Amino acid sequence: MFPLSSQKKYWTFSNEQQLNELRKNQNKKFQETHGSQMDDTSRREYFLDSSEERLLLKQYEIYLNDFCRRFEPTMPKCCLGTSFHYFKRFYLHNSPMDFHPKEILATCVYLACKVEEFNVSIGQFVNNIKGDRNKAMDIILSNELLLMQHLNYYLTIHNPYRPIEGFLIDIKTRSSLTNAERLRQHIDDFIEKSFFTDACLLYAPSQIALAAVLHAASREQENLDSYVTDTLFTGAREKLPLLVEAIRKIRLMVKQYEIPPRDKVKTIEKKLENYKERMRKMFCDDDLEIDMQANSAADMSVLNMSH
């Protein structure tokens, strides 16, 4: 159950400000560690700042979604949701300057497939990746344990898909809405968009699911307010104000989401590429090079997922 889960205890946060502070702190720590001899001007030129990292990661979340949607054989929705959770969690405490998001993205999806018992071999998995598939396989397998370590081995994810099915069954049984299945496409669209926001790090899966259902009903010019107040919470009305506020905020987050400007993302990707190239030149000693490869899994161009 979600209320007793590690997701609730360790990976659900109070508000967006807390998430932003975590991201800013990890960026600051990275710059202080790797740029201790630099002045502020040099750091700005050399490193990605927190806002640049965030924009870059938003773009890679789009790549993650596209990769999962195109995956063959067809991937269950729960694998997509779990992949997003892993990706977002990892970069709360790590920098894309240290671990390239292209590599972590693929590793998140591969680990999610295993955890959600979607039975694909590593060979089948890398068949969905362009480029040198043997190198891609090495990168994913070498990063798998690292990813689990940074997730503190809390791998079970509660996604909103089961609560959605429960709500639809209940609506069919206990509400006056006819043909509840017509809500499904709007629900799916809403849930997909919600993964591009921080909603899954802030709210319970059941709250996100209910926000999706109410959004879908409004798109169909239906109103389920009486179902929520008189049926769902008939014996717990004191909980309604908090729920209503959570639903409002989730829907607002989804509505306000904007796709990252492609020109800005390209500039940031180039800056990251330049940083990685400088790092390679600095660490030319064999031992250091091996250590660096262990951290960043080397060849960034191998996991050539279509942009």
Domain regions of the chain by residue span: 2-33+40-157, 160-256
The answer to whether the beta carbons of residues 205 and 164 sit under 8 Å apart is no
As a whole number of angstroms, the distance between CA 167 and CA 120 comes to: 31
Domains 2-33+40-157 and 160-256 agree in fold: yes
The answer to whether the beta carbons of residues 35 and 46 sit under 8 Å apart is yes
pTM score, two decimals? 0.91
Fold (CATH) for 160-256: Cyclin A; domain 1 (1.10.472)
Closest C-alpha among 264, 289, 269 to residue 97: 269
Q: What percent of the chain has pLDDT over 70?
A: 92
User: Long-range CB contacts (< 8 A, 24+ apart) of 42-48?
Assistant: 46/275, 46/278, 47/97, 47/275, 48/95, 48/96, 48/97, 48/268, 48/271, 48/272, 48/275
Structure tokens of 25?
């702190």
Collapsing DSSP to helix, strand or coil, 292 comes out as helix
Please report the pLDDT score of residue 236 as a whole number: 80
Which tens digit of pLDDT belongs to each residue from 102-135?
A: 999 999 999 999 999 999 999 999 999 998 999 9
What does the DSSP assignment read for 193-253?
HHTTTTHHHHS-HHHHHHHHHHHHHHHTT---HHIIIIIITTT-GGGHHHHHHHHHHHHHH
Residue 73, preceding peptide bond in cis (omega within 30° of 0): yes
As a whole number of angstroms, the distance between CA 1 and CA 34 comes to: 42
Which tens digit of pLDDT belongs to each residue from 283-302?
A: 654 333 323 333 333 333 44
- CATH architecture type of domain 2-33+40-157: Orthogonal Bundle (1.10)
As a whole number of angstroms, the distance between CA 99 and CA 210 comes to: 35
pLDDT band of residue 304 (cuts 50, 70, 90) is low
Which tens digit of pLDDT belongs to each residue from 9-44?
A: 999 999 999 999 999 999 999 999 998 888 888 899
